[in-house]
Amino acid sequence: MGAGGMAAGGTATTGGGGSGGDVCEHTSYPEPPKDHDLGGEQEFVVAMNSIGLGETLETRVGVDLDRQCTCLGEGPSCVAPPNAGDNECDFDGGVDSNFSRLMTLLAAFSSGTISSSAYSQGALDGRWSVLLRVRGYNGAVDDDQVEVAVFTTPGFPPDEVPLWDGTDEWPIASTSVGASGSTEEPKFVSLSGYVRDGILVAPLPSLPLIFNTGFSYLPFDITGGFIMGTIVEQAGETALTNGLIAGRFTMESMFQSLSEFRNGAGMPICRGDSYYDSVKILVCNLRDISSEVPGPGASCDSISMGVGFTAQPAKLGAVGDNLAPSPGCPAETTPATDSCPD
């Protein structure tokens, strides 16, 4: 749910949401190429250097995750919470990205620490990024099978800033790799990625994101999603533009994220705080999609999301530990053990 969509060609579009009488076009990702055995041997690595959280109309992106244009001539794919109101309605193209509504309200109360510009600057400064390694690419506009591995990073040391010229060796978080501790054993990898008309698409059952400005810390674990972006050549290097991360946040994951969130002062939000209580009501009322393929009468147990990005040429560096956030809430008030009331 959001006021914009990522069209099949990879172009972000914006528009209003709400009720309507005509069945909308289902905004989605490109289908795989019809030809097979197109693979090659090229490999490239990119690091995200800007992010669009969707807190404004101009940055909202997404796709129709549930193949239903809710309130746009079609019914819902799951049963929304009693107080969902218009939050259960899709936006133009059936776009599902209620995450953008959450970011809009969190941004309003964060004094600028939660915003696309703040987190993009954090990436440019080397505090966070998400790295994608693409293997088995043939270098053409169509490739029916590529491997896409996803790595998070603890960021560069405070006295180092990436150059963004393709030579930066980003530290890799140990939580992104398997027991071997090697990037040759990525924990988050899609073996069924492909390229269609120059657009990379990679389904991913799970995907971690950690946004960090150096002050504000915001992690998320996404399920049932994918990454896509337009492949472009820049001075002999490969980059991604018009990028999109789409998927679902289960409530369990969302409350865990709230337990790890730190504001601009490095402080957590805890159960019993008036701010937390307001955020909890908002989060629970934004549930708009099922975490699984829904059956008749299935409850909406997750929040849909779409996040835009660009990614520049980079290199994988040494594997190390994630930076631990500052101390959180006491066990009796941590959001990690909380849940929605219904």
Per-residue pLDDT of the chain (342 residues; tens, 9 = 90+): 333 333 333 333 333 334 344 568 889 899 999 988 877 999 999 999 999 988 876 666 899 999 889 998 898 999 999 988 888 888 888 899 899 888 887 777 666 677 889 889 999 999 999 999 999 999 999 999 999 999 999 899 989 999 999 999 999 999 899 999 999 999 999 999 999 999 999 999 888 888 776 656 777 788 888 999 999 998 889 999 999 999 999 999 999 988 888 876 778 889 998 889 988 998 999 999 998 866 667 899 999 999 999 999 999 999 987 666 678 899 999 999 999 987
What does pTM read for this prediction?
0.87
Q: What's residue 225's pLDDT?
A: 87
Distance CA 163, CA 86 (A): 44
- Residues whose CB falls within 8 Å of the CB of residue 66, separated by 6 or more in sequence, listed in order: 77, 78, 96, 289, 290, 294, 304
Q: What's residue 50's pLDDT?
A: 95
Q: What's residue 1's pLDDT?
A: 37
Residue 255, in any domain of the structure: no
Q: What's residue 114's pLDDT?
A: 78
Q: What's residue 37's pLDDT?
A: 83
Residue 14, in any domain of the structure: no
Residue 69, in any domain of the structure: no
Residue 20, in any domain of the structure: no
Residue 313, in any domain of the structure: yes
Residue 267, in any domain of the structure: no
Residue 50, in any domain of the structure: yes
User: In terms of residue numbers, what domain contains 110?
Assistant: 37-63+95-250+305-335
Distance CA 201, CA 146 (A): 9
- Residues whose CB falls within 8 Å of the CB of residue 224, separated by 6 or more in sequence, listed in order: 65, 205, 247, 248, 291, 292
Residue 262, in any domain of the structure: no
Q: What's residue 209's pLDDT?
A: 82
Q: What's residue 109's pLDDT?
A: 67
Q: How many domains does the chain have?
A: 1
Distance CA 14, CA 4 (A): 4
